[in-house]
Chain A
Amino acid sequence: MIDLLDRRLLFVTGKGGVGKSTVTAATALLAADQGQKVLLVESDAKGNLTNLFEHPPVGFEPQEVHPGVHAMQLNTEASLREYLKLNLRIPMVGRVGPIANVFDFVANAAPGVKEILTVGKVCWEVRASIEGRADWDLVIVDAAATGHVLAQLDAPRTIRELVHTGPVRNQTEWMMEILSDESVTALNIVTAPEEMPVNETIELVAHAREETTVPLGAVIVNRVLPEPFTTEDEAVFAALAAPPAVDALRDEIGAGADGVLDAARLAVALRRARVPHLDALRAGVDLPLLYLPYLFVRDHGLRVTRVVADALGAELGL
């Protein structure tokens, strides 16, 4: 059994298009089902994560988007404001605007600064919960995509290497503690049984181990197609799709018979094309794998989030 939800902080990453946000939202929903109080954090700037709960976009201030699930959107300037207020008691908070502009510029140019402001806020919420100053059971972050997530999670260390004195350096210590404690934090990777997502997952796992101390959680394989036929049934299907049977079938159910058979052929071909990618994933990654089915939908909302949460719950034995 995988204790996916048995942490304080979950990061969820994945290649664009694999369903990272949907799985993140579903994980939050599942945790809330289990009675946890969840803070869902959007760190991608798109601002559409709450669509998955059919709730309007939220800002930096957490808002309840579903019973048990609060959501917030990270924002560098708001994080900076809060940081200055809480940590440094900077006197000119009212005039932070122009300073933030300059800081934004430094953040863009200097490595790790932008990331530390986002990851720092997340760590702060986790620490506050552990110390009883906030009551989140679980903080779930819709993190950066596979290519950038390590820069995000490793920001405290990057900053440590560059900043030698001052409060920022001191703050990196407890952040690194939270981010490398496997009883607190896990990085989960969403992937799909396709070439690029599988390759990126394998590479990410290797890089995470070589370059960071971030604990890895599970790989969630989204969009898995079921095998339509058993070997025995496959022979039946082959015979059905051959001329004498197709003629009889047309006669029986109409000219639509060909279109119906096409769809079944596509289902078989799609499944078959994905098998080698699944094999490569299993061979290339030694993390627990969780499988979520391909959903025959084209839009996402609370219903789909619910379906995915239930499928995830079933995989976890909940």
Chain B
Amino acid sequence: MTERATGTRSASLESLLVSREVVVFCGSGGVGKTSTAAAAALTAAVHVGGRVLVLTIDPAKRLADALGIEGIGNVERRVPDEVLRQAGLAPRGELWAAMLDTKASWDDLVLRHAPDEETARRILDNRLYDNLTSRFVQSHDYIAMERLYDLHSAGTYDLIIVDTPPTRNALDFLDAPQRMADFFGGRLLRWLTAPYRLGGKRGARLVNFASKPFYQVADRILGTQFLQDIAEFFLNFETMYGGFVTRARAVERLMKDRRTAFAVVTTLEGAPLREAEYFCAELTARDYHLGALVLNRVLPESFADPGVMVAADRLVEEPEAVAARLVGLGVDALADPAAVARVLRTVGSSFQNFAVVATREAELREELGRVPDVLATVPSFADDVHDVAGLARIGECLLGAQLPSARVRADAGAREAEDRPG
């Protein structure tokens, strides 16, 4: 392990980044999970040090480009220090990034767990395999967890930050390893393949089981050939049973271990927030370590400030009176009273629009019930974040007031030892 800053006991996102080996970012779709996870990794590499990896699932192209992982498949890449320096950062550690390639990860898995190369080939060449691995959401969940476990157990990284796949339910991925183990260990699979097993050779027609209702129904619905194809595929797949179950258990252990923490990301909007509260409750109920709740894209508090609201109301109600005063200044661009009044009214009503949102955000924040110790707020930026400088801005917000300045000075290298927090 490379040298890292040691942990503080105070609840902060920074202490989370210092003390954990894995931090999993989850939340409903569209709340900015990917950029928040990348920002957390960048922040850790810059301020905490060590070797930090962000495992992203589906980053925007510009963000992937910025991290240097666009179109490179299943390998980790180091984000060059030069890129970080250009963004005004002086990293203590190394930032690495990787994108999840579901297909390549599955192929690796099959090659690793299959008893011999011939079986592996038969599995890889089966059309059901292709469908199973590329089309099913659950297979993405499973492989994300599998890949995380792989990267963690290799011991190369001090901290791994994980973005989670977009799923209907953001917690589905947690069940994926167990589901996979159940799948292979289950009686159902045995049941399905039993007639073909009894037949002794592949393609044997079922005899003993023909009277069972399941086969009657399945046969009538799907046709014998399809059942046979499925059975053949799973008989091959089953040879990997032991490897899968062992891995699934290990992944589950890692997820529940103190070394892993979860960060829930949400915006202050009704539906995502209710979902985030549900995730928080559910993670805690299932004994996972909920580390932080990140409120993303929050409007500045000043937008809900009564004093500012009064000023905006005045602009909307009496733009002509205010305009008269400004026209009197003798500024060229402010010579036309009608134009100035029009702009003032627009400025005032623009604020009023945002004030409605900001006020509702403040209310929702008040209503937030049981939340984890760490609550970080990231303000609403005008654009999607797509470069390292943008990630650094989010990173500053994630750390909040914990550091004097997130942007390290040019001489930081020399001062590094005494600067180190904790």
Given A111-B135, A199-B61, A232-B339: A166 and B222 within 8 A (CB)? yes
Q: Residues on B close to A: CB < 8 A?
A: 28-31, 60-62, 127-128, 131-132, 135-138, 166, 168-169, 183, 186, 188-189, 191-192, 213-214, 217-226, 229-230, 234, 268-272, 300, 302-303, 305, 307-312, 314-315, 322, 325-326, 329, 331-334, 336, 339-340, 342-344, 346-348, 350-351, 353-357, 360-361, 364, 380, 382-384, 386
Q: Tell me the minimal C-beta distance from A190 to chain B in angstroms.
A: 11
Specify which of B189, B311, B334, B343 is in contact with A259 (CB 8 Å cutoff).
B311
Please name all residues of chain B whose beta carbon is closer than 8 Å to the beta carbon of A261 when the two chains form the complex: 347
What 10 A-B pairs come out closest when comparing CB atoms?
A17-B30, A16-B29, A256-B311, A111-B131, A259-B308, A166-B223, A239-B333, A269-B382, A256-B308, A273-B383
Instruction: Kindly name the residue among A48, A105, A110, A238 whose own CB sees the greatest number of chain B CB atoms within 10 A.
Output: A110
Given A169-B223, A236-B334, A256-B305: A298 and B268 within 8 A (CB)? yes
Listed stretches A31-39, A95-103, A174-182; interface member: A95-103
Contact B168 A45 (CB under 8 A): yes
Specify which of B30, B60, B340 is in contact with A18 (CB 8 Å cutoff).
B30
A316 beta carbon closer than 8 Å to chain B = no
A297 beta carbon closer than 8 Å to chain B = yes
A285 beta carbon closer than 8 Å to chain B = no
Contact A236 B339 (CB under 8 A): yes
Contact B356 A260 (CB under 8 A): no
Q: How far is the CA of A236 from the CA of B326 in the complex (A)?
A: 11
Given A232-B339, A236-B339: A105 and B308 within 8 A (CB)? no
Q: Residues on A close to B: CB < 8 A?
A: 15-18, 44-46, 48, 84, 88, 90, 92, 95, 98-99, 101-103, 105-106, 108-113, 145, 147-148, 151, 158, 161-169, 194-196, 199, 228-229, 232-233, 235-240, 242, 244-245, 248-249, 251-257, 259-264, 266-267, 269-270, 272-273, 296-300
Please name all residues of chain A whose beta carbon is closer than 8 Å to the beta carbon of B300 when the two chains form the complex: 262
Please name all residues of chain A whose beta carbon is closer than 8 Å to the beta carbon of B302 when the two chains form the complex: 259, 262
Closest to B339 in A: A236
Please name all residues of chain A whose beta carbon is closer than 8 Å to the beta carbon of B361 when the two chains form the complex: 298
Contact B217 A84 (CB under 8 A): yes
Contact A102 B191 (CB under 8 A): yes
Please name all residues of chain B whose beta carbon is closer than 8 Å to the beta carbon of A252 when the two chains form the complex: 314, 322, 325-326
Contact A90 B223 (CB under 8 A): no
Q: How far is the CA of A279 from the CA of B316 in the complex (A)?
A: 32
Contact B138 A253 (CB under 8 A): no
Please name all residues of chain B whose beta carbon is closer than 8 Å to the beta carbon of A88 when the two chains form the complex: 217, 220-221
Q: How far is the CA of A268 from the CA of B150 in the complex (A)?
A: 46
Specify which of A110, A165, A251, A257 is in contact with B128 (CB 8 Å cutoff).
A110
Q: Tell me the minimal C-beta distance from B206 to chain A in angstroms.
A: 15
Contact B360 A298 (CB under 8 A): yes
Contact A245 B217 (CB under 8 A): no
Please name all residues of chain B whose beta carbon is closer than 8 Å to the beta carbon of A151 when the two chains form the complex: 135
| Chain A at the B interface: SS class | helix
Given A236-B340, A260-B315, A262-B302: A244 and B331 within 8 A (CB)? yes
Please name all residues of chain A whose beta carbon is closer than 8 Å to the beta carbon of B325 when the two chains form the complex: 248, 251-252
- 10 A-B pairs besides A167-B220, A263-B354 with CB distance below 8 A are A90-B220, A99-B213, A108-B138, A145-B29, A162-B226, A162-B229, A236-B339, A240-B343, A260-B351, A298-B357
Q: How far is the CA of A194 from the CA of B61 in the complex (A)?
A: 12
Q: Tell me the minimal C-beta distance from A236 to chain B in angstroms.
A: 4
Q: How far is the CA of A18 from the CA of B214 in the complex (A)?
A: 42
Given A46-B168, A102-B192, A240-B344: A267 and B131 within 8 A (CB)? no
Q: Tell me the minimal C-beta distance from A313 to chain B in angstroms.
A: 22
Q: How far is the CA of A313 from the CA of B137 in the complex (A)?
A: 35
Contact A17 B28 (CB under 8 A): yes
Q: Tell me the minimal C-beta distance from B352 to chain A in angstroms.
A: 8
Instruction: Kindly name the residue among B213, B356, B361 whose own CB sees the greatest number of chain A CB atoms within 10 A.
Output: B213
Q: How far is the CA of A195 from the CA of B384 in the complex (A)?
A: 7
Q: Tell me the minimal C-beta distance from A80 to chain B in angstroms.
A: 9
Q: How far is the CA of A267 from the CA of B382 in the complex (A)?
A: 8
Q: How far is the CA of A199 from the CA of B61 in the complex (A)?
A: 9
Contact B230 A95 (CB under 8 A): no
Q: Tell me the minimal C-beta distance from B224 to chain A in angstroms.
A: 8
Q: Tell me the minimal C-beta distance from A103 to chain B in angstroms.
A: 7
Please name all residues of chain B whose beta carbon is closer than 8 Å to the beta carbon of A92 when the two chains form the complex: 213, 217
Closest to B341 in A: A236
Q: Tell me the minimal C-beta distance from B302 to chain A in angstroms.
A: 4
